[in-house]
A and B are shown apart, each in its own frame.
Chain A
Amino acid sequence: MTGEGRPKLSAVDHDADAELLDRLRAGDEQAFVMLVCRYRDSMLRLAAGYVPSRAVAEEVVQDTWVGVLRGLSGFEGRSSVRTWLFRILVNRARTAGARERRAVAVSEVGPAVDPARFDQTGHWAVPPERWIEEADDRLVAAKMAHRVRSAIEDLPGRQREVVTLRDVEGLSSDEVCSVLEITEANQRVLLHRGRSRVRQVLETEFGRA
């Protein structure tokens, strides 16, 4: 089970990726452009989490495709095309990000909800303020989506990676583990922390007690 979120890429899409890759190997440049189109937005969003500017993110994506072309003959199809592409991107983005971004030591652990919001018996003392209904208004929903995106960008590194891949890009947990080379359990902890924090941001900004 892959959990919640947008519809995941179906098997058909994976087949389409594999077919594009075959055509690319055969020297079909349109297949290359189509593959780039398919992943451009995802790659840019993902890269943007590591580097300070859109321009640098564009460079990382460009650099990734160079790496894809060079690595093409070595790709054995043991992982999905998408997983392979994202892994190349993440490696490049991390390298670029290490240069560009100061390392922030933010704790990756902590409770999902501020303990002060519970009473001594562990029941809600300050229950969640409501905000979901506000999203019925399309303008508010757009604002929320925007805020979610920036809240994800502000997450500590590992949480940001996992939440972006899972919830923004819609990868399965298996794929995320493979891209980031982490364990299933670790993936879940990071996802939990990250989602909890993003929810809190929404509550703080849009909640009505």
Chain B
Amino acid sequence: MRLRIGPRHLEIGRLEIVRREIVCQQAVELVTDYLEGTLPRAARRRFEKHLAACPHCTEYLAQIRATIRLAGSVTPGDLTPQMQDEFIALFRSWQSDPGEGEQDRR
């Protein structure tokens, strides 16, 4: 996914000035890093600069955010009394016979 951001390097002595403008196709690949807060500062600035000028990519980012919100919109339910009984039975049978300890130490 990591598209290299089209580099046009201008070498001036030992100082390297990198002129990099993000285009849309690259911007959409940076969205997750941006939301995760893992974009390096310079890349983050370029990304935000692109967004400010590009309504389509702004919309795209909003859609990714909306997608995340929708994924998280769940309504939790409770155990029915019958399920509660089942789990209490499970617990009691474990208490009377704890079995082998599993190697899930963390």
Contacts and interface: CB of A to CB of B under 8 A. Distances in A.
Interface stretch (A10-18, A47-55, A98-106, A185-193): A185-193
Nearest to B94: A69
- The interface residues of chain A, by DSSP majority, are classed as helix
Contact of A145 (B64, B65, B70, B98): B70
A192 B105 contact: no
Contacts of B83: 40
Given A4-B35, A203-B63, A36 B79 contact: yes
Main secondary structure of the interface of B (DSSP, over half): helix
B42 interface: no
B106 A128 contact: no
Contacts of B31: 112, 192, 196
Given A5-B72, A123-B24, A145-B73, A88 B95 contact: no
A33 B87 contact: yes
Interface of B: 1, 6, 23-26, 28-29, 31-33, 35-38, 54, 56-57, 59-60, 62-74, 76-79, 83-84, 86-88, 90-92, 94-95, 98-106
Contacts of A199: 60, 63-64, 67
A135 to B, nearest CB: 7
Nearest to A24: B91
Contacts of A62: 86, 90
By Cβ-Cβ distance, the 5 closest A-B pairs, closest first, are A122-B23, A6-B72, A1-B37, A192-B32, A167-B71
Nearest to A112: B28
Contacts of B73: 6, 141, 145
A167 B71 CA distance: 6
Nearest to A126: B56
Nearest to B78: A37
A152 interface: yes
Given A3-B35, A67-B104, A69-B94, A196 B63 contact: no
A179 to B, nearest CB: 10
Contacts of B38: 188
Nearest to A6: B72
B20 to A, nearest CB: 13
B28 A76 contact: no
A150 to B, nearest CB: 11
Contacts of B84: 33
Given A5-B72, A87-B104, A124-B24, 11 more contacts: A4-B65, A29-B91, A40-B77, A84-B104, A109-B1, A113-B60, A118-B24, A123-B25, A131-B63, A144-B70, A145-B73
